Structure 1
Amino acid sequence: MACKTYLVEDSALIRENLVGFLEDVAEAEVVACADSENEAVAWLHAHRDEWELAIVDLFLLQGNGFGVIKACRDRGKNQQVIVLTNYATAEMRERSQALGVDAFFDKSSELELLVDWFESRRAQRH
Structure 2
Amino acid sequence: MTLRTFIVEDNATIRENLIGTLEELASIQPLGWAENEADARAWLSGQHGDWDLAIIDLFLRQGSGLGVLEACKAREPRQRVVVLSNYATTDMRKRCSQLGADAVFDKSNEIDALIDYCMQQSTGQASA
Cα distance in 1, alignment partners of residues 123 and 17 from structure 2: 25
Is residue 73 from structure 1 mapped to residue 73 from structure 2 by the alignment?
yes
Instruction: Report the Cα offset of residue 3 of structure 1.
Output: 0.6
Write the letter of the residue equivalent to 2:35.
D
Cα distance in 2, alignment partners of residues 115 and 35 from structure 1: 22
Asked whether the equivalents of residues 22 and 115 of structure 2 are also in contact (C-alpha less than 8 Å), the reply is no
Partner SS, residue 69 of structure 2: helix
Gaps of 5+ in 1: none
Partner SS, residue 88 of structure 1: coil
Summarize deviations over 1:22-70 as a string: whole Å, max 9, x none: 1111100010100000000011111112211000000000000000000
Instruction: Report the equivalent of 2:100.
Output: 100
Matches for 1:1-126 after TM superposition, within 5 Å: 1-125=1-125, 126=127
Scaled by the length of structure 2, the TM-score of the pair is: 0.94
Cα distance in 1, alignment partners of residues 15 and 120 from structure 2: 23
Instruction: Report the Cα offset of residue 17 of structure 1.
Output: 0.6
Cα distance in 1, alignment partners of residues 80 and 95 from structure 2: 17
For the aligned residues, what is the CA RMSD? 0.9
Give the count of matched residue pairs: 126
* Matched-pair identity in %: 47
